[in-house]
Amino acid sequence: MELFAEQALLPDGWHRNVRITVSSDGRFESIVPDARISAGVERKTVVVPSQLSLHSHAFQRGMAGLAESRQNPADTFWTWRRLMYQLAHRISPEQMQDIASYLYMEMLTAGYTQVAEFHYLHHAPGGATYGQVAEMSLRVGEAAQAVGIGLTLLPTLYERGGFDGRPLQEAQERFATTPELIGRIISETRLAWAETPLLSVGLGLHSLRAVDLKTVPDLLAAQTAPVHIHVAEQQKEVEECVAFVGARPVEYLLSEADVDERWCLVHATHLSDSEIAGMARSGAVAGLCPITEANLGDGLFPLAPYVNDGGRFGIGSDSNVLISPWEELRTLEYGQRLFTQTRCAALPAETLGSTGGWLYRQALDGGRWACGLESWGLVAGARADLCVLDEDLLPLPYLQDDAVLDAAIFGSRQPPVKDVLCGGQWRVRDGRHLNHDAVTAAFRRTVRTLLDL
């Protein structure tokens, strides 16, 4: 396949008249700027690398918008979690697949072509393992395959109910796992997906409150793929960590585990100055989920000091209450502006230039690392994924270079995405996924049954 872009964002910046060829194995064969268009080749105006959601809980899309009504005067993250547990308690493997298919279709339509699924819902209601222990994980893979999105599945370890080692509550019994069981799920999914280039497997550790780091050295040693952990999302979690281990969460994690660029520290909202410096130095990616963090009232990540220390980050859709990489980046930047009372607040102190362009590139780099992908973007050899932007959805015509990304992030009324290529195949054309109607119908049927609507 061949296409031609009037302007395209390559690793070394924007170029004009770019000829893009895709090989039959779904990778970019060549990317040639300043080229001539050949007869019969599709012409696109603006082409950018697609984004990666480095943190997702697919089933939570099935409760989007249902947790916005106040149930008591002191509603918190923890009351939201009760509602989420009710959904987690009921969902069947088929329902999981239908919801994940719909969510991943929405992701593609919004401009994501890769998702890291932080997956801790492993067992049947009641806590028994399925006949095939990786049943739920395999369903997530089926969903990704069905709509054509890249997936980094993170089978996630969940051992206990809190720092004090208390057992899991009844609502958490579907999550209960040991390091051995997670090792089996990783092996089973890797074996099943050996021939499917869009699917890969890493490791999730739910959180410091749910995992005892002393139990995981063997599991970590067996991993070359990414390792993700929720950390320091809520103040209550910081206080409990200090009370039980005598250190703040990120401080404790950095001292007890060999945290390096394989790691993704999801949220890491509440950090001391030394934790910010230590985390940036480690090379780990901060997994920021600005829409969900705002929705749940988590707090603001200290982005300015972190990027000034050279820290890297990517974006995740997490609870999937709203699906848009553009809105994730806008929310991230606006949170920082409101907090610091400055503009262009996400840029490192001495950096000038486009905020949108800088945010977009940082999210590509952090997302690629967190998803365990060797290469990403418009470069020969990388998986052939890209987004064609829809100029009609941008606020102004004739924009060029990073002004396109600034307009797309700060001035577009919806994801300004026209066509999306993933693994060398068109998945979205003219703003619509190719299998939109069937995937949507299955999702609607499933949600109606699951939620008694």
Identity at 392, one-letter amino acid code:
D
| Active-site entry in 122, 267, 270, 433 | 267
Backbone angles phi and psi of 444, in degrees to 5: -65, -45
Residue 123 DSSP symbol: S
Q: How far apart are CA 398 and CA 391, in angstroms?
A: 8
Asked if residues 279 and 294 have their Cβ atoms less than 8 Å apart, the reply is no
Segment near Zn ion (CB under 5 A); pick from 314-322, 328-336, 346-354, 380-388: 314-322
CB atoms within 10 A of CB 426: 15
Residue span 269-308 as binding mask against Zn ion, x where in contact by CB under 5 A, dash where not = ----------------------------------------
User: Based on CB atoms, which residue is closest to Zn ion, 151 or 409?
Assistant: 151
Candidate segments 73-81, 144-152, 315-323, 365-373, binder of Zn ion by CB under 5 A? 315-323
**Closest CB to Zn ion among 31 and 208?**
208
Active site annotation includes 318: yes
Which window, 78-86, 142-150, 270-278, 313-321, contacts Zn ion (CB under 5 A)? 313-321
The answer to whether the CB of 426 falls within 8 A of the CB of 419 is yes
Residue 201 in tokens: 């497997």
For the record, the structure tokens of 352 come out as 């000038």
Instruction: State which H helix or E strand residue 286 sits in.
Output: strand 285-288
Rounded distance between C-alpha atoms, residue 181 and residue 129, angstroms: 10
| Nearer of residues 98 and 318 to Zn ion, judged by Cβ | 318
The residue of the chain with the least Cβ separation from Zn ion equals 318
Please give the structure tokens belonging to residue 452. 């008694």
Q: Cβ of residue 147: shortest distance to Zn ion, in angstroms?
A: 22
Q: How far is the CB of 266 from Zn ion (least distance, A)?
A: 6
The runs of H, that is alpha helices, within 114-178 are 135-147
Given 98, 318, 385, 406, which residue is catalytic? 318
Stretch that binds Zn ion, among 68-76, 186-194, 254-262, 316-324 (CB under 5 A): 316-324
Q: Least CB distance from residue 405 to Zn ion, whole Å?
A: 27
d(CA 389, CA 47): 6
- Which residues are registered as beta bridge partners of 152? 116, 200
Question: Is residue 267 among the annotated active site residues?
Answer: yes
Interactions with Zn ion, residue window 318-357 (CB under 5 A): 318
CB closer to Zn ion, 7 vs 156: 156
Give catalytic residue positions: 267, 318
Q: Which residues bind Zn ion (CB under 5 A)?
A: 318
